[in-house]
Structure 1
Amino acid sequence: MSSLEKDSLEKDSLKKELGQEKEGEGGGAAVRVRSLTRSFDGRAVIDDLQLDVPAGEFVALLGRSGCGKSTLLRVLAGLDREIEGEVLVPRRKAVAFQAPRLMPWKRVWRNVLLGLPGRPGRAVAERALKEVGLGHRIDAWPKTLSGGEAQRASLARALVREPDLLLLDEPFGALDALTRITAQQLVAELWQRRGCAVLLVTHDVEEALLLADRVLVMDGGVIAHQVRVDRDRPRDIADPLLAELRTELLDRLGVKAPEPAAVHKVA
């Protein structure tokens, strides 16, 4: 059997697994996608994709640039409706993007309330901002926030919607290394506290392994591979299991994992 035939059989097997994982459990899935196709200028970026995300699960989505990760997230968020297939998501959902997208002419607390139905008061924003560690910046102007603070404000804006599904599109991509670690820890804490389902789109394999219950690899317009991360949190990227999964995921992404540094013994 050729390698192409093996890859085809593996994708078919995975498609069946993903498609049947939550069958018969009624409302147990936060996301249910069947035969999703999204084309641009006649080219299918997403091609007959199947996906289930159970309620409360943290899922990370990896893939090469241009594979359709962000397109899938936009479809789930309801921002792209030019699709074929079935997409079922909770009514209460929220999105945080890589760019915080704060309105510079509104104070932070007013940015948090943007788009909320009704006339929510300042106290609603205050609670969300305190939850993300930004209670001391409630009245600040967005231009005075650091990159990490602006991203926290973006998360607060998502949390005030009390989402059953939180969609994160590379929210840490523009942060420096130390701020990124802090932001990752914050998201992990918020997810454990809130219990909502999370779909995180990222290019960072280590980030996916540290945060997610399940890591998916998107390729050829479908979910082509997945791994489960059976480790308690907080996690250590030096854990042998995580190191093994990292190598496996990098291989699926077409990246050769670096060889471990040689150890020289001194006589």
Structure 2
Amino acid sequence: MATGLHGRMSATQNAAVSVRGLTRRFGDRAVIDRLDLDIAPGEFVALIGASGCGKSTLLRILADLDHEIEGEVEVPVKRAVAFQAPRLMPWKKVWRNVVLGLPGLPDRRRAEAALAEVGLSHRANVWPKVLSGGEAQRASLARALVREPDLLLLDEPFGALDALTRIKAQELVGELWQRHNCAILLVTHDVEEALLLADRVLMMKDGVIAHEVRVDRPRPRAVEDAYLAELRARLLGWLGVGHGAMEDAA
């Protein structure tokens, strides 16, 4: 029997996210197939997997953007999403974009406080079209943070950024997570990004969580760390890339 998210928006005491037997079908194909998942309050989880494995579909379900499901899903009422495309309204100034959708009259002070957190105070009163890609993504993060979420869902938010801007954005997300202590689910194709940011990296395959690794390293982390390099090789092997894939096959 299908159970939508409406009326199931409270998290359990011990988990920010609790998913049991989740299935999402598109026609005859089950993109998500009886998936189970728990994310603890304040935990940073990264989700990787091949294109089409269901990562973004799972995130959309947790964000209450997809209701055609079977199974049980419990998430916090206070949650926010940032996508790869910043999705700023071009006819509204940046600060108005940040508080867009919040109840009551637009609160500029609240918007500017969120923009200050992401280093964008000086762009509060400009139009989105004049922002760089990195600035637009920071504005998107401010829009998510202004909601003070218990769960922050990030769908490849750095995918369209150049390498240097991407590194800075990754560092910013790590700092914001430690400051706000909310649970985060980051969907990414970048294995190094997952290892640098997350407490736990999950790999989706065939509609379920097929593998996971815990990243027992203090922050900030360096990609040159031998421990992270070992985890990277293991994850790439599970993804069918490089020497790790040949070792798994053997």
Which ranges in structure 1 are unaligned for 5 or more consecutive residues? 1-24, 259-267
Partner of 2:163: 177
Which ranges in structure 2 are unaligned for 5 or more consecutive residues? 1-10, 245-250
Contact 2:46 2:200 in 1 (8 A): yes
| 1:218 equivalenced with 2:204 (yes/no) | yes
Report the structure number with the largest CA radius of gyration. 1
Listed one character per residue, the Cα deviations across residues 26-66 of structure 1 (whole Å, up to 9, x for unaligned) are: 51200000000000011100000000000000000000000
Listed one character per residue, the Cα deviations across residues 123-156 of structure 1 (whole Å, up to 9, x for unaligned) are: 0100000000000000010000000000000000
| 1:162 equivalenced with 2:142 (yes/no) | no
Listed one character per residue, the Cα deviations across residues 184-242 of structure 1 (whole Å, up to 9, x for unaligned) are: 00000000000000000000000000000000000000000000000000001111110
| 1:227 equivalenced with 2:213 (yes/no) | yes
Q: Which one of the candidate residues 104, 112, 115 is aligned to 2:101? A: 115
| 1:140 equivalenced with 2:126 (yes/no) | yes
Partner of 1:62: 48
| 1:128 equivalenced with 2:83 (yes/no) | no
Q: TM-score normalised to the size of structure 1?
A: 0.86
Change (3 A) 1:257 1:210: farther
Partner of 1:87: 73
Partner of 2:4: none
Contact 2:100 2:106 in 1 (8 A): no
Q: Which one of the candidate residues 86, 91, 96 is aligned to 1:105? A: 91
* Partner Cα distance (2:34, 2:228) in 1: 30
Aligned identity (percent) is 75
The within-5 A match list for 1:33-72 is 33-72=19-58
* Partner Cα distance (1:28, 1:47) in 2: 24
Which amino acid letter does the alignment assign opposite residue 239 of structure 1?
D
Listed one character per residue, the Cα deviations across residues 43-94 of structure 1 (whole Å, up to 9, x for unaligned) are: 1000000000000000000000000000000000000010000000000000
Consecutive aligned runs of 4 or more in structure 1 exceeding 2 Å deviation: none
* Partner Cα distance (2:65, 2:71) in 1: 16
Q: Which one of the candidate residues 178, 181, 189 is aligned to 1:195? A: 181
Q: Which one of the candidate residues 224, 237, 240 is aligned to 1:251? A: 237
* Partner Cα distance (1:70, 1:120) in 2: 30
RMSD of aligned C-alpha atoms? 1.1
* Partner Cα distance (1:201, 1:50) in 2: 17
Q: How many matched pairs? A: 234
Change (3 A) 1:41 1:26: closer
Which amino acid letter does the alignment assign opposite residue 80 of structure 2?
A
